[in-house]
Structure 1
């Protein structure tokens, strides 16, 4: 066999599987069709950690509960952002709020309070007094899922996991004497166990095809904070029309507003929805607005073909960030049933330290500039990202190879100017570090060039 375990998909779940499995003496490969890992993670790199009170399935709630218990330890191990942020969840009626509150107490969720919106308004002026009721929770928080994924990928890579990027699976077959053969557009591999974490009919040994039904959409708006009127809590409001609006303070000190809805919204409509909660704000405070699908595929482990060595993690769901640790742990147990694997005593669980200039004080900044002068050259003025940070994001294990990879790892191009100042500089740094022509630098995937031709020759950009 080429590998003991092949993981299909280098998204958040795939990186988590690689991270957990490399703690054992196993030969692991991960196949990802894109240029980079974690392409499935939301653009804004901030996710709400739920307390589970609004989750209907007890099974999923238990996964959330178990995962939340590990978050403090995991975030410290990976050296990534996680912060507990209290939340208000506003319901349109007292009956709905009481039902959710009763279920939460039955599930043993502590640190929650049932309040009228008038009572909630005294704690947070953004909660408008109405006939509705709110549940205040101290068990919610904010994480940076992209940072989690890349941190786990880096550690997995340093511990011997083989990442096969830009390879798309074209066929999977059982082998007559055990094991599974995986064919990609570039290679053929064999493995004792295949763990599938991604979507697509070519990624399965089953005869039936995957189907995903129609879903809601989510309109997102990233807003620069108004520190005179700062939103200090997570606010989630269920509206009478079925829409749900969520306000989330992000790890980059901004405000992410998300609206779950059934139809697309124009900029002015989305801005009006947000203003209904936080009040009027000038349009120039909006950094980014985008739209994506609101996935609600059931979270489950399909182990029907586990004896054959094929395990499918079904997790195309908005809450996957919340169940990740427990879900991965359960799958690792299934994988280990196929091996007499021992613990990897040489496992290195710490990744190389990274520096974010905007989070450092003056003394720390001067110190890092003395070590590497590139940290003294500002590339992105909107987000305070230096050349040193961009170079580091490229040179790290599993480093960035595209503009989007740099953007997500450092926060550059996320500011108000949307790259009008720094985009060409980022392309120039990528070209220099990867020893490529600027014309060969991709935005995010194959054939996504940012610069298509030169109009004049320069020695450098």
Structure 2
């Protein structure tokens, strides 16, 4: 066998599986069709950690409860952002609020209170007094899921996991004497166990899930404003028309507004929705607005073919960030049933240290600039990202190879100018570090060149 375990998909769940499995003496490979890992993680790198009260499925709630218990430990292990942030969830009627509150109490969720919106307004002025009711919870928080995924991928790589990027699986077949053969567009591999984290069943490789259907739209708006003293809580409001708006403070002190809706919204409509909660703000404060699907596929581990060594983790769901630890732990137990695996005594759980200029004080900045002058050269003025940070994001284990990879790892191009100042500089650094022509630098995937051609008159530049 080429591998003991092959993981299909290098998304958040795939990276988590690689991280947990490399703690054992196993030969592990991970196959990802894209240029980079964690392509499935939300663009804004901020996710709401739920307390579970609004989750109807008791099984999913239990996964959330178990995962939340490990978040402090996991974020410390990975050295990534996680902050507990209290929340207000506003419901349009008292009956609905009482129903959710009763369910939360029956589940043993502590640190919650049922309030009228008038009472909630005294704690947070952004909540408008109305006929509705709110539940205040101290069990919610904010994480940066892309940082979790890349940190786990780096540690897995340093512990011997083989990452096969830019390979798309074309066929999966059982071997006559046990084991599974995985065929990609470039290679063939064999393994005793295959863990699939992508959509589809054992014999279905491709299935189109990109079409946004009714009831499955999320409009996102990232707002650049100093909310440090203004938005101290997560605010989630259920509207009479069925829409749900969520305001989430981010790790970069911006505000992420998300609207779950049934129809697309124009910029002015989305801005109006956000202003209904936090009040007016100038349009130039909006950094990014985008639309994506609100995934609600069931979260589960399909173990129908587990005896054959095939395990399928189904997690195309908005709550996957909240169940990650428990879901991965359950899947790892199924994998280990096929081996007499011992703990990896050489496991290295710390990734290489990184530096973010915007989070450092002047003394720390001067110290790092003395070591590497590139940290003294500002590339992205909007987000305060230096050349040193960009170079590090490329040179790290499982480093960035595309503009999107640099963007997500460092925060560059997310600012108000949308890359008009720094994009060409980022492309130049990528080309230099990867020893490529700027024409060969991709935005995020194959055939997504940012620069298509040079102007002949300026060919000597």
TM-score, normalization: structure 2?
A: 0.97
Post-superposition offset of 1:204 = 4.5
Secondary structure in 1 matching 2:71: helix
5+ long unaligned stretches in structure 1: none
Change (3 A) 1:213 1:264: closer
Q: Report how far residue 199 of structure 1 moved.
A: 1.5
The answer to whether the Cα contact below 8 Å between 1:170 and 1:202 also exists between their aligned partners in 2 is no
Confirm or deny: 8 A CA contact 1:215 1:296 kept in the other structure. no
Q: Which moved more, 1:227-236 or 1:315-324?
A: 227-236
Cα shift at 1:225: 1.9
State how far apart, in whole Å, the 2-side matches of 1:460 and 1:102 are: 71
Give me the CA root mean square deviation.
Answer: 2.1
**Inter-CA distance 224–398: structure 2 relative to 1 (3 Å threshold):** same
Structure 2: distance between partners of 1:92 and 1:233: 19
| Per-residue CA distance 1:248-278 (angstroms, 9 max, x = gap) | 0001110000000010000000000000000
Instruction: Determine if contact 2:237/2:244 at 8 Å carries over to the other structure.
Output: yes
Worse overlay, 19-28 or 223-232: 223-232
Query: Which moves more between the two structures, 220-229 or 340-349?
Result: 220-229
Counterparts in 2 of 1:348 and 1:229: CA distance versus 1, 3 Å: closer
What is the distance in 2 between the residues matched to 1:10 and 1:166? 11
Q: Is the 8 A contact 2:180 2:192 kept in 1?
A: yes
Encode CA deviations 1:395-441: one digit per residue, 9 max, x unaligned.
00000000000000000000000000000000000000000000000
Asked if the contact 1:33–1:167 (Cα under 8 Å) also holds between the matched residues in 2, the reply is yes
Correspondence 1:228-239 to 2 at 5 A: 230-239=230-239
8 A Cα contact 1:196 1:203, kept in partner: no
Q: Distance in 2 between matches of 1:350 and 1:272?
A: 44
- Matched ranges for 1:17-416 at <5 A: 17-200=17-200, 204=204, 215-227=215-227, 230-416=230-416
Distance 1:215 1:187 in 2: 40
Q: 1:358 to 1:212 in 2, by over 3 A?
A: closer
The question of whether the paired residues in 2 share the 8 Å contact of 1:173 and 1:205 is answered with no
* Alpha-carbon offset, residue 366 of structure 1: 0.5
Contact in 1 for aligned 2:301/2:314 (Cα 8 Å): yes
**Matches of 2:293 and 2:188, distance apart in 1:** 33
Cα pair distance change 1:426/1:94, threshold 3 Å = same
Q: Is the 8 A contact 2:41 2:146 kept in 1?
A: yes
Pair 240,195 (structure 1): closer, same or farther in 2 beyond 3 Å: same
How many Å separate the matches in 2 of 1:359 and 1:32? 32
| C-alpha contact 1:97 1:134 (8 A) present in aligned 2 | yes
Answer yes or no: is the 8 Å Cα contact 2:219–2:265 preserved in 1.
yes
Report if aligned partners of 1:31, 1:163 keep a CA contact under 8 Å in 2. yes
> 3-state SS of the aligned residue for 1:202?
coil
Q: What is the CA distance between 1:208 and its match in structure 2?
A: 14
Distance in 2 (CA, whole Å) between partners of 1:163 and 1:321 is 22
SS of match in other structure, 1:276: helix
Distance 1:214 1:307 in 2: 38
1:31-76 per-position Cα deviation (integer Å, ceiling 9, x unaligned): 0000000000000000000000000011100000000000000000
How many angstroms apart in 2 are the aligned matches of 1:396 and 1:456?
Answer: 35
CA apart distance, 1:203: 6.3
How many Å apart are 1:153 and its aligned residue?
0.2
Provide Cα deviations, 1:146-190, integer angstroms capped at 9, x if missing partner: 000000000000000000000000000011110000000000000
- How many angstroms apart in 2 are the aligned matches of 1:416 and 1:358? 16
TM-score, normalised with respect to structure 1: 0.97
Structure 1 residues 207 and 53, CA, compared in 2 at 3 Å: closer, same or farther?
Answer: closer
Structure 1 contact 8–203 (Cα < 8 Å) conserved: no
Query: Could you say if the C-alpha distance between residues 325 and 238 of structure 1 is closer, same or farther in structure 2, counting changes exceeding 3 Å?
Result: same
Contact 1:201-1:209 within 8 A present in 2 as well: no
Structure 2 Cα separation of the partners of residues 457 and 196 of structure 1: 51
Contact 1:91 1:132 in 2 (8 A): yes
Question: 1:83·1:141 contact (CA, 8 Å) conserved in 2?
Answer: yes
How far did residue 230 of structure 1 move? 1.9
Q: 1:414 to 1:228 in 2, by over 3 A?
A: closer
Instruction: After TM superposition, give the deviation of residue 455 of structure 1 in Å.
Output: 1.1
Structure-2 separation of matches of 1:386 and 1:326: 37
- Unmatched runs of 5 consecutive residues or more in structure 2: none
Q: Number of residue pairs matched? A: 461
Question: Is the CA contact (8 Å cut-off) linking 2:226 and 2:253 kept in structure 1?
Answer: no
Could you say if the C-alpha distance between residues 209 and 440 of structure 1 is closer, same or farther in structure 2, counting changes exceeding 3 Å?
closer
CA contact (8 A) 2:212 2:293 kept: no
Give 1:226 shift.
4.0
Q: Is the 8 A contact 2:169 2:205 kept in 1?
A: no
Residues 64, 322 of structure 1: 8 Å contact kept: yes
Residue by residue over 1:296-348, the C-alpha shift from the partner in whole angstroms, topping out at 9 and shown as x without a partner, is: 00100000000000000000000000000000000000000000000000000
Q: For 1:91-112, what per-residue CA distance to the aligned partner results, in whole angstroms no more than 9, with x for missing partners?
A: 0000000010011011110000
Cα distance change on mapping 1:206 and 1:244 into 2, 3 Å: closer
Q: Is the contact made by 1:212 and 1:297 (CA closer than 8 Å) also made in structure 2?
A: no
